[in-house]
Structure 1
Amino acid sequence: MKKFPAFLLFLILLLAGCIDGGGTAAPLIVVATRAPLDAGFQTYLHPSGVFSIRVPPQWIPDQLPFEDGVRVQFTSIENSERVVRLTVMVINTGEPLTAEAFARAVQAYQPQEDGVWTATAPPAAMTDGSVRLQGLRLYPTIGTRGFNIFLQGNGSYFSSVETDVTGADSAMLQTLMASVNTFRVNTNVPLGIGSVNPMSVTSASGVLGFDHYTHWEDTNGGFNITGEVKNLAEVPLEAVRLTAFLLDAEDNILVERSTILAYDVLAPGESAPFRIRFDSGRPSIAVRYEIQGAARAAEFSLSTFYGNDNFLIGEDRAFYNTNGFLTVTGLIQNNNTKLAKSIRVLVAIVTDEGQVVAVQDTFINKDQLLPGEATSFEVTFDELGGNAFKYKILVQGTTD
């Protein structure tokens, strides 16, 4: 089955020589040794230890959701823009990659000629046994990008190193070549067995959008970023992973935090609220933050996902309980013909200016809801990042 790319968006916001000797001295001969191409790079080691690669120290790594193995992308800062220049993927196929098995994996991996991906050269066998793919990919919002993709086998592990060469000058092309040549796989690190499927190369900007965002500090010293993330793609997205960075005035990353969106599948055009909390607060030298969003086209969750359109919400109201905490209650009815299970209620509190200032979710007190069956829910907020004006409710579940 064809897989689609993970997608990415960045959101950038402001926060508040002389020789001493006589004439008879022998000539001085200096032999210069050329510095290695990766001089000044730093080694990135995946948390699992399954691969390492050397990249420029300014590049930002980000782990992407990937069921079949591990996948990490590296972002370069170019003229104040952030570009995903390199993406690494490693899959344990579960079988030794003989010449025949590797050829099958390469064939299975190659993106299909579907009007979105266009090969610009046939697959090329490299002297080290790897295979290079070259092509163009058309993204709906940022246009066409050019890629060189390198595929290799190590034992049962199949890897790809995808490089985005769009607009790359000679220095960037040399940097990409140097990084690719340092890629190493450690087959002694165990990975679950996965499948090799067509991958539509690296991440694309503009398919996740952010809106109604704000930041605030809670009474326990935590620094919070709340808002909504929206699917701008033409396909449903799942496994939406949000990562926030706090940076200083020199664009150095001081700290980062990640979270998985509580709403499992975003339909095209659909939004869901999020909250990212830095437990230790905001460093005093942090002047701005960035949010990255990564997701994949929905496949694994879509078959069992039971989204908000399948539920009716009634008798809902908001009030402050006896402890002074804002509480939202109501009834949820299963408004479809399928059995609903693992039902989760996600509530966002919004100011009169539309900013999301609190997000909370809870599971209902029943394991399942029959078609037409209803039950109550209650969501309590211990703190808000602004004045509550209205609330938004999303409900999701699973079905067989």
Structure 2
Amino acid sequence: MKALFRRRLLVFAILMSTLLVGCSSGAVVYVPTPLPPESNPQRYEHPSGAFNVVMPPNWSAYSQNLTNLATASFSPPDSRVPLVTVAVINMGDDIEIEELDEMRRTYQSQIRPDLGHYTEQDADAQGDGAWRMVGVRQTATGETETVNTFFERRGSLLGVTDVVIPADAHLVADLQTIINTIFLGDSDTVQLEPTTLNTLALAASTGLETINISTWTTDDGVFFVTGEVTNRGGTTVYDVPVKVTLSRQDGTEVVEAQDTVMGYGIVPGGFVPFSLRFGQGQPSDASAFSVAIGDIAPAESDDLQPDIISEPALVWTDAMENSANGTLYVIGRVSNTSDEPVRQPQAIVTIFDQAGRVIAAGFADADVDVLPAGESASFNIAVPEQGGEAVNYLVSVQALACDKTCE
């Protein structure tokens, strides 16, 4: 796709004079913490190869990489809400220009994740065959925000980009940079399974999302990226993998770390922390980071997983204690109020700073392997390092439904 066709303009001047633009509490909320400032933009490439884009200095990218959906959201410096969300799917066959128009009409009228509170106001074809739609939507707090949606294709890949017009006019140039540098990958090599248009409904409002991210370095030079993963879907997910990539200014990878979130899984509406550690510290040539959620087990494998037991069957009390060496201890007691025993109860703590960012997390097993009905057990979690002043903390306890090992 030639660069001269990439001059896509945001529509905002007319609407901004009459509309209130606010932060949506119904949107995906992040607390991005970029690495040390750089003066030049960098190119971000989605892990699947589905698309790449030039990010303005100090913007943060958070990506989700499922087998049939590639998404990423981009947030400006010191912002809690992403302004740009890109979603790409593989339709299986090359998309003709007439099909693109039909697909965008179907998407706008039937599939958009924000369909219930979005109104399209205008649509026009771009010089490169793509479409730009201008609309407004009501946020969960009743405010109105302007959204530009770009619909494009390359081979069998279909890309949808949502751009929220901010109240801060100084950010418009950065947004223009992003939308004019989004390029879809090669459909023959991209790691996306063919799917249907309906998959795009999952791009913004459901599924797994990373929130409350922070980066910090210990006195010994160990670099951490900590945060939470929330499950906005309708089913429990198990062993959710998280990968953090540190990259150079030009977007090339320096180093990565990956692990699963803490706990046994994430129930619908739940959230659990993660903590990824770079023992050698932050590399000197690393200028940015990205957090990606990896592939999870397919839904049909859920029958092989034990049920996760938590509230209301389990109730607990907890308290935090400081120590002279800086270690925080969370001690507590969990009770099984159900009529059935549970096994391997585990306590998880997430620690937050004043801004609501996750600055530490930890977990520990309770002092029994099987917790009978009506019985209690103790737990003690040690958190030796934190990325700031601990202002708040949250404890959750999970256990597994009993199987033959409980007999």
- Place the TM-score, normalised by the shorter chain, in its bin: 0.5 to 0.7
Distance in 2, Cα, partners of 1:335 & 1:83: 39
Q: Which residue of 2 aligns with 1:110?
A: 112
Uncovered stretches (5+) of structure 1, i.e. residues with no partner? 15-39, 246-253
Per-residue deviation, 1:91? 1.6
Distance in 2, Cα, partners of 1:266 & 1:145: 31
Per-residue deviation, 1:183? 2.0
Distance in 1, Cα, partners of 2:170 & 2:352: 49
Q: Which residue of 1 aligns with 2:139?
A: 139
Q: Which residue of 1 aligns with 2:398?
A: 396
CA pair 393-166 structure 1, distance change in 2 beyond 3 A: closer
Contact 1:327 1:378 in 2 (8 A): no
Contact 1:229 1:271 in 2 (8 A): yes
1:7 to 20, 29, 40: 29
Distance in 2, Cα, partners of 1:156 & 1:336: 51
Per-residue deviation, 1:67? 6.7
Q: Does 1:190 align with 2:196?
A: no
Contact 1:306 1:340 in 2 (8 A): yes
Q: Which residue of 2 aligns with 1:84?
A: 82
CA RMSD of aligned residues (A): 6.2
The letter for the 1-side match of 2:89 is I
The C-alpha deviation readout for 1:137-192, integer Å capped at 9, x for no partner, is 33346943211111223344321122223347599369627733652331122213
Contact 1:10 1:291 in 2 (8 A): no
CA pair 186-208 structure 1, distance change in 2 beyond 3 A: closer
Contact 1:102 1:153 in 2 (8 A): no
What does residue range 323-338 of structure 1 map to in structure 2 within 5 Å?
332-336=334-338
Distance in 1, Cα, partners of 2:76 & 2:389: 38
Per-residue deviation, 1:73? 2.2
Name whichever structure is richer in strand by fraction: 1
Distance in 2, Cα, partners of 1:384 & 1:367: 28
2:361 to 354, 359, 362: 359
Structure 1 SS opposite 2:74: strand
Normalising by structure 2, we get a TM-score of 0.54
Contact 1:44 1:52 in 2 (8 A): yes
Uncovered stretches (5+) of structure 2, i.e. residues with no partner? 1-25, 247-253, 294-298, 403-407
The letter for the 1-side match of 2:176 is L
Identity %: 21
CA pair 382-12 structure 1, distance change in 2 beyond 3 A: closer
Contact 1:7 1:293 in 2 (8 A): no
The C-alpha deviation readout for 1:278-317, integer Å capped at 9, x for no partner, is 4334689x9xxx999999xxxx99xx76444331348999
Q: Which residue of 2 aligns with 1:180?
A: 180
CA pair 183-167 structure 1, distance change in 2 beyond 3 A: farther
Alignment length, in residue pairs? 334
Deviates most, 44-53 or 99-108: 99-108
CA pair 393-275 structure 1, distance change in 2 beyond 3 A: same
Distance in 1, Cα, partners of 2:94 & 2:370: 44
Distance in 2, Cα, partners of 1:343 & 1:258: 24
What does residue range 36-75 of structure 1 map to in structure 2 within 5 Å?
42-64=42-64, 68-75=68-75
Contact 1:162 1:202 in 2 (8 A): no
Structure 2 SS opposite 1:6: coil
What does residue range 130-279 of structure 1 map to in structure 2 within 5 Å?
130-140=130-140, 143-167=143-167, 169=169, 172=172, 176=176, 179-180=179-180, 182-188=182-188, 189-194=190-195, 195-198=198-201, 217=218, 221-223=221-223, 262=262, 265=266, 275=275, 277-279=277-279
Name whichever structure is richer in helix by fraction: 2
Deviates most, 47-56 or 161-170: 161-170
Contact 1:93 1:158 in 2 (8 A): yes
